[in-house]
Structure 1
């Protein structure tokens, strides 16, 4: 089972609360968190792409680092760990994304992959005058499919004459081409989103309830789509880690965050999510409008080291799970503690 980590490249990280640990995104924090993860034998890192936050009392995600710039820096700072940067398909032309990815892949010795972000948070794009219209909620995966096809043509051949609905290439060139495969991660939870990932991705982020039965259902959905495409795609379920001396202590910490959540920010987040509640996007509602929306509705894995390790191991044993993707709150201390106390218990999983 591979162990991955969401990078701390946005303020407030993954808990929108007035009592959760606070940090501002900066290169020192990102680099130190990455080096700690590599030291403790994590397998991969992923940084998000974000251009607008949610205001409120704590202004979560109003401050963020550029995903690809961070990963380019980490390509030099790290030696072994896999690096996934995120690209917003509405903001970066596929030819530029292909060149950036090829460059960082070269810098890292072939350790780079891309997370494809199709764009559902409308205010991120209206602020720049780049929102293509609300039909994008229904067509975003068609757009992303063409986007990936252009990139892969360029990576494979260094040239593209792709002609589609959204992109038209005319003897488009890329050189040098990457010498190692650039793997792709996707995050769509709807049937169409999973179809997209099954057809073009290597891994799929999965968000759901923190139990093996729910993960098994999600993995079956993904594999059914992958079978249709004649491909194999592994899932990366996402979890919020709260590691303490006991389950009771960890639950008390989370309850304090919950009771002191940044309600205005969560309300803004929920309002944006509702924009995308189409007939085919019920998963967005489940993801963003749950009782723990202040934690981005990431399922919790909490407790002492043994409890956390056993829970993660059980997820790794679900057929179709390629690894787990973890988020923390106080990255400088939490990653150290997880690395010292939990990683040895997961050795060999």
Structure 2
């Protein structure tokens, strides 16, 4: 079972609480996190696309690093970790996304993966940039992303594109040098249209684990059936939060403290933005239809406990058929990641370190 890191590239990471650790992202912090991750046996890291924060008393996501630049820098400060950078398709031209990805792929010796972000749940961040096409975009965003990816793939594979589609029309776009190898694409959408996009264009799928093991297992059954129809092999990964402490009681009390002190300003803003998107089954639907305590965790399941409990629970989650790995969220990233190596991974039966850790440096 592979484990990765959901990088806190925007302020306060993924816990919308007045009681959680409060911090702004910086490159030194991201570097410390991924280097601790490599030393601790994590295989990959993902940086989100954030163009505008949510505000509130904590200034949640008001400070953010740019994901592609972040991954380019981290490519030189890491050895084997796969690095996933995100582009919002409405804010970044597909030819520029293709060129940035090619550059980072070269800098990282083939470790870069491109995450396609359609936008939609947060229209304000695109409205202020004057690139929001209107709320009807939510009805065709995955078709738009499909054409976007077709342009990128043409540039990577042939070095030119004169694509003529519904949303993109180009004459003699050029890219050189071409990537030396296949660059993987990630999709994090979970709606029916998002899954259809994934089965056509993506190499990996990411989703938030929410509702317990049974809910994820059921979602994976449906996803696997769709993959069989598409005739492609696409690995699926899920995000999980981890709260570690010496005892179960201490860890669970810490998580309750986070959940009972929501940043209602940031949460209410997020819900208001997501309410503009009527698509069923996607990110917006999950945001709008959960309780405040769940919103503190951004609609993501968190496991709280001692190292022994976390090891047991991760082993149980690792047995869900169809899940290739988990991308983990932490409250105190560097400290918790190091503790995973020391106190959790050695107790697991379903954890195998990356092969690079077993080879001589």
Summarize the alignment of residues 1-349 of structure 1 with structure 2, pairs less than 5 Å apart: 1-120=1-120, 121-209=122-210, 211-278=212-279, 280-281=280-281, 284-291=284-291, 292-346=294-348, 347-348=351-352
Q: CA shift at 1:283, angstroms?
A: 5.9
RMSD of aligned Cα (Å): 1.5
Secondary structure (helix, strand or coil) at the match of 2:275 reads helix
* Structure 2: distance between partners of 1:41 and 1:217: 29
Q: Deviations for 1:285-307, whole angstroms, at most 9, x for unmatched residues?
A: 23453121011111111111122
Secondary structure (helix, strand or coil) at the match of 1:196 reads helix
Secondary structure (helix, strand or coil) at the match of 1:144 reads helix
Q: Which moved more, 1:99-108 or 1:260-269?
A: 260-269
TM-score for the superposition, normalised by structure 1: 0.96
* Structure 2: distance between partners of 1:183 and 1:247: 39
Question: Does the aligned pair in 2 maintain the 1:99–1:174 contact within 8 Å?
Answer: yes
* Structure 2: distance between partners of 1:320 and 1:160: 35
Aligned length in residues:
348
Q: Which moved more, 1:109-118 or 1:331-340?
A: 331-340
Secondary structure (helix, strand or coil) at the match of 1:85 reads strand
Task: Mark the runs of 5 or more structure 2 residues left unpaired by the alignment.
Answer: 354-361
**Structure-2 change in CA distance of 1:322 and 1:72 (3 Å):** same
* Structure 1: distance between partners of 2:116 and 2:171: 24
Q: CA shift at 1:345, angstroms?
A: 2.7
Q: Which moved more, 1:327-336 or 1:77-86?
A: 327-336
* Structure 2: distance between partners of 1:55 and 1:284: 18
Task: Mark the runs of 5 or more structure 1 residues left unpaired by the alignment.
Answer: none
Question: Does the aligned pair in 2 maintain the 1:210–1:301 contact within 8 Å?
Answer: no
Q: CA shift at 1:248, angstroms?
A: 1.8
Secondary structure (helix, strand or coil) at the match of 2:253 reads helix
**Structure-2 change in CA distance of 1:171 and 1:282 (3 Å):** closer
* Structure 1: distance between partners of 2:143 and 2:276: 19
TM-score for the superposition, normalised by structure 2: 0.93
Q: Which moved more, 1:115-124 or 1:162-171?
A: 162-171
Question: Does the aligned pair in 2 maintain the 1:198–1:222 contact within 8 Å?
Answer: no
Q: Deviations for 1:232-290, whole angstroms, at most 9, x for unmatched residues?
A: 11211111110112222111111111111111111111111111133x34663234531
